[in-house]
A and B are shown apart, each in its own frame.
Chain A
Amino acid sequence: MGHTISRRGLLQGAAGVAAASTLAGCAMGGDDAEDDAKGETSASNPLGVKEDAPLEVVIFNGGFGEEYAKAHEAMYRQRHPQAEIKHSATQQIAETLQPRFVAGDPPDVVNNSGGSQIDFNGLVSQGALADLGELLDAPSLDDPDTKVRDTLLPGIVDVGSYDGKFLSLNYAYSAYGIWYSQKLFEAKGWAYPRTWDDMIALCKQIKAAGIAPWTYPGKHARYMSWPILAAAGKMGGLDVIKAIDNLEPNAWKHDAVKAAAEAYYQLAVDGYLQPGAEGMDHVQSQTEWCRGKAAFVSCGSWLENEQKAVTPPDFRMAVAPTPSLTTSDKMPYEAFRGTGSEPFVVPSKGKNVRGGLEYLRVMLSRQGAADFTRKVSSLTCVRGSSEGIDLGPGLTSVTGLIDASKGTAFTWLYSSYYRKLERERVDAASAELYAKRITAAQWCDKIQKSADEFAQDPAIKKYKRA
Chain B
Amino acid sequence: MRGTRLFIAVFLIPPLLLYGIFVVSPYAQAFQIAGTDWSGLSPTYDFVGLDNFRRLAEDGYFWNALRHNAWLLLLLPVVTILLGLFLASMISVGGRADRAGVHGVRGSAFYRVVYFFPQVLSVAIVGVLWKEMYAPHTGMINGFLRAAGLDGLAVAWLGDPRFSFWCVMAVMIWMNVGFYVVLFSAAMQSIPRDLYEAALLDGASRLTTLVRLTVPLLWDTIQVAWVYLAIIAIDGFAIVQIITDGGPSSSSDVVGLRLYKAAFADGQFGYASAIGVAMFFLTLTVAAMFLRVTRRDRVEL
Contact = CB atoms under 8 A, between A and B. Distances in A.
Q: Tell whether A pairs with B.
A: yes
Contacts of B13: none
A126 B40 CA distance: 10
B284 A11 contact: yes
Interface stretch (B72-80, B94-102, B170-178, B244-252): B244-252
B156 A118 contact: no
A84 interface: no
Interface string B14-41: 0000001101111111011100111111
Interface stretch (A27-35, A384-392, A400-408): A27-35
Nearest to A420: B266
A28 B45 contact: yes
Nearest to A32: B43
Contacts, number: 169
Interface in B223-252: 223-224, 244-245, 247-250
Contacts of A28: 29, 32-33, 36, 38, 43, 45
Contacts of B292: 7
Given A28-B38, A98-B41, A122-B267, A22 B28 contact: yes
B41 A431 contact: no
A101 B160 contact: no
A219 B158 contact: yes
B144 to A, nearest CB: 15
B268 interface: yes
A118 B264 CA distance: 7
A104 B247 contact: no
A432 B249 contact: yes
Contact of B248 (A10, A19, A218): A218
A288 B38 CA distance: 44
A14 interface: yes
Contacts of B4: none
A280 B156 contact: yes
Nearest to B156: A279
A279 B134 contact: yes
B205 interface: no
B265 A420 contact: yes
A26 interface: yes
Interface string A422-438: 01100111011001010
B114 to A, nearest CB: 29
B209 to A, nearest CB: 25
A53 to B, nearest CB: 23
A431 B158 CA distance: 12
A193 B268 CA distance: 45
B138 interface: yes
A221 interface: yes
A interface residue count range (under 10 / 10 to 19 / 20 to 34 / 35 or more)? 35 or more
A6 B23 CA distance: 22
A209 interface: no
A280 B137 CA distance: 9
Contact of B284 (A10, A22, A103, A280): A10
Contact of B220 (A1, A18, A219, A419): A1
A44 B248 CA distance: 53
Nearest to B61: A424
B38 A116 contact: no
A5 interface: yes
A74 B284 CA distance: 55
A127 interface: yes
A276 B43 contact: no
B62 to A, nearest CB: 13
Given A102-B41, A277-B156, A278-B156, A20 B249 contact: no
Contacts of B23: 17
A14 B284 contact: yes
A101 B160 CA distance: 38
B198 interface: no
B293 to A, nearest CB: 12
A208 interface: no
A78 interface: no
Nearest to A16: B24
A21 B268 CA distance: 24
Interface string A110-146: 0000001011011101111000000000000000000
Contacts of B244: 219
Nearest to A220: B247
A5 B244 CA distance: 36
A163 interface: no
Nearest to A10: B287
B43 A116 contact: no
A279 B265 contact: no
A17 B37 contact: no
5 contacts: A277-B156, A277-B159, A279-B135, A427-B247, A431-B159
Given A116-B265, A279-B157, 6 more contacts: A28-B29, A28-B33, A98-B264, A121-B267, A126-B39, A126-B42
Interface of B: 20-21, 23-29, 31-33, 36-45, 55, 134-138, 142, 154-161, 220, 223-224, 244-245, 247-250, 263-268, 271, 280, 284, 287-288, 291-292
